[in-house]
Amino acid sequence: MDLLVVGSGLFGLTIAERAATELGLRVTVVESRDHIGGNAWSTVDEATGVEEHRYGAHIFHTSNDAVWGYVNRFTEFTPYEHRVYARHRGEVFPLPINLGTINQFFRTGLGPDEARRLIDEQAGELAGREPGNLEDKAISLIGRPLYEAFIRGYTAKQWQTDPRDLPASIITRLPVRFTYDNRYFNDTHQGMPRHGYAAWLQRMADHPLIDIRLGVDFLDDGHAFSRDAAVGQVPVVYTGPVDRYFGHRYGALGWRTLDFDRQVLDVADHQGTAVINECDEDVPYTRTLEFKHFHPERTHRDGTVVVREYSRFAEGPDEPYYPVATPEDRARLERYREAAAEEPRVLFGGRLGTYQYLDMHMAIGSALSRFDNTVRGWF
Ligand code: FAD
């Protein structure tokens, strides 16, 4: 073994693939789960034939041509364009907030300039007062009526906190489009892997010099690929949680997690689209996903798979999904970064190793540049 990669998510797989293909290195990848691919992994429901994203809906999008070129070596992408809808008081509206949302909500037929004037007027409610919390900040950006309908309940559920008790700094902008364009992403490239996420990720791992060991936790003692056996002996790329690597010595970093309530329904189509945000506070879940709509080009059997997502703070063994990043978390992270810099030939990468939310293209882009800037220099 020339290189040990901890974690087979997109960051770890990209490093492993590049090291094997470009440098001809023998790479061992240890993965504590029973499958590769990290949070992008998908499985197929046997009864319906629907591909399910096991860790929340994943849509690939990027404006980075190098990343797009790289991922297309392993999979083709369908021309899927993501659109999200919002449910509020029994009515469904298009998101991000656009001319269609505004005209449906206010029962108007405004053009772009009139709509802009209306929103500016409503956003002027604070009359120059500095927003003291998230609610004020959102009102200063889009006005109270749209905030109360589409942002307040959703945000309160996401953070389990009244938006008046959240810092204004959580949001810097709330996009409002004065056109009817409701494509969720503005990126140059987007789509779904044509043969599924599992096939894409498997293809990245399929290399004679890459040895994948599933069900192996790097931080457990007593095996040949553990931290104690490997660090200092072989270069390591570590994509697990940075605080866990150091035994939480400066305290645990805060994360939000999701609970998934999954149902297989005996109907052909439950909601007519892939994602509906549930904006009202009296509906306890934040989103409803219906996976078959990610692949309109596929023929599915009867039935559909629907998942309701519930958001809460992660504790103990929960999956860490989104960094909370309070000022205390950021201070702790700084200390972990200093400790990480002292580790001999260990690169901390990916979303858990750097405590950052990363979209897939960001995880891949970061792995490609850190492969060039750090890993190459080790050999
Ligand atoms: P991960 O995928 O988390 O992989 C890390 C791997 O390391 C895991 O498999 C873990 O089991 C393993 N590991 C950790 N510790 C150890 C250890 N000690 N020993 C062995 N193995 C270990 N991105 C998009 O581009 N579009 C989307 O629509 C999108 N939707 C998302 C929805 C949700 C709910 C979430 C949470 C993320 C979403 N993402 C999306 C982001 C995407 O999941 C990440 O970009 C990607 O997972 C990052 O890859 P990674 O390798 O950094 O981390």
Q: What's the one-letter identity of residue 318?
A: D
- Residue 162: count other Cβ atoms within 10 Å of its Cβ: 14
Q: What is the DSSP letter of 39?
A: G
Distance between CA 270 and CA 251 in Å, rounded?
44
Angle between helices 134-142 and 112-123 (to 10 degrees): 150
Q: Which string of DSSP letters, residue by residue, matches 295-319?
A: -TTS---S-EEEEEEEEEE--TTSP
Q: Which of 239, 309, 355, 361 to mutate to test the pocket of ligand 1 (most atoms within 8 A of CB)?
A: 239
Question: Residue 172's pLDDT is what?
Answer: 83
Question: Residue 206's pLDDT is what?
Answer: 98
Is 332 a known active-site residue? no
Is 359 a known active-site residue? yes
Is 337 a known active-site residue? no
- Ligand 1 centre to CA of 13 (Å) is 11
370 CB near ligand 1 (under 6 Å): no
- Ligand 1 centre to CA of 235 (Å) is 22
360 CB near ligand 1 (under 6 Å): yes
Question: Residue 139's pLDDT is what?
Answer: 94
56 CB near ligand 1 (under 6 Å): yes
Catalytic residue selected from 18, 152, 287, 370: 287
6 CB near ligand 1 (under 6 Å): yes
Token pair recorded at residue 366: 């970061």
185 CB near ligand 1 (under 6 Å): no
Is 114 a known active-site residue? no
Domain boundaries, the chain: 3-81+189-254+318-378, 95-170
**Comparing C-alpha atoms, which of 220, 229, 179, 156 is closest to residue 1?**
229
Is 357 a known active-site residue? yes
Question: What are the angstrom distances between the C-alpha of 193 and each of 145, 147, 212, 263?
Answer: 39, 35, 22, 24
**pLDDT mean values, one per 10 residues, the chain (379 residues):** 98 98 98 98 96 97 98 98 97 97 98 96 86 92 95 93 89 91 96 98 98 98 94 97 97 96 97 97 96 96 95 93 92 98 96 97 98 97
Hey, what long-range contacts does 373-376 have (CB within 8 A, 24 or more apart)?
374/347, 375/3, 375/15, 375/18, 375/19, 375/23, 375/235, 375/237, 375/347, 376/23
CB 290 within 8 A of CB 347: no
CB 306 within 8 A of CB 272: no
* Fold (CATH) for 3-81+189-254+318-378: Rossmann fold (3.40.50)
Q: What is the dihedral of CA 331, 332, 336, 339, to 10 degrees?
A: 80
Is 309 a known active-site residue? yes
Is 107 a known active-site residue? no
* Fold (CATH) for 95-170: protoporphyrinogen ix oxidase, domain 3 (1.10.3110)
Percentage helix, strand, coil for the chain under 3-state DSSP, each rounded to 5: 35, 20, 45
239 CB near ligand 1 (under 6 Å): yes
10 CB near ligand 1 (under 6 Å): yes
Question: Residue 175's pLDDT is what?
Answer: 87
Distance between CA 316 and CA 257 in Å, rounded?
11
Question: Residue 173's pLDDT is what?
Answer: 84
Q: Residue 246, Cα to own-chain centre: how many angstroms?
A: 25
- Ligand 1 centre to CA of 34 (Å) is 14
Q: Residue 27, Cα to own-chain centre: how many angstroms?
A: 27
Question: Residue 100's pLDDT is what?
Answer: 98
